[in-house]
Amino acid sequence: MIPPFVDSGCLPPGVHSARLDEIEARFGRESELRRVQMESVRWMVDLAKRAGVQRIVLNGSFVTDIIEPNDVDCVLLAAESAMDIAAEDELVKGLPFLEIALVGPEDFDELVNLTFASDRYGVPKGMIEVIS
- Is 51 inside a domain boundary? yes
The CATH number covering residue 72 comes to: 3.30.460
Per the structure, how many domains does the chain have? 1
Lowest-pLDDT choice from 3-12, 79-88, 106-115? 79-88
- Is 74 inside a domain boundary? yes
* Backbone φ and ψ of 25, nearest 5°: -60, -35
pLDDT tens-place string over residues 68-105: 999 999 999 998 887 899 999 999 999 999 999 999 99
- Is 112 inside a domain boundary? yes
| pLDDT band with cut points at 50, 70 and 90 for residue 48 | very high
Which domain does 51 fall in, by range?
14-131
- Is 113 inside a domain boundary? yes
CA dihedral 11, 44, 56, 3 (to 10 degrees): 20
- The DSSP code for 77 is E
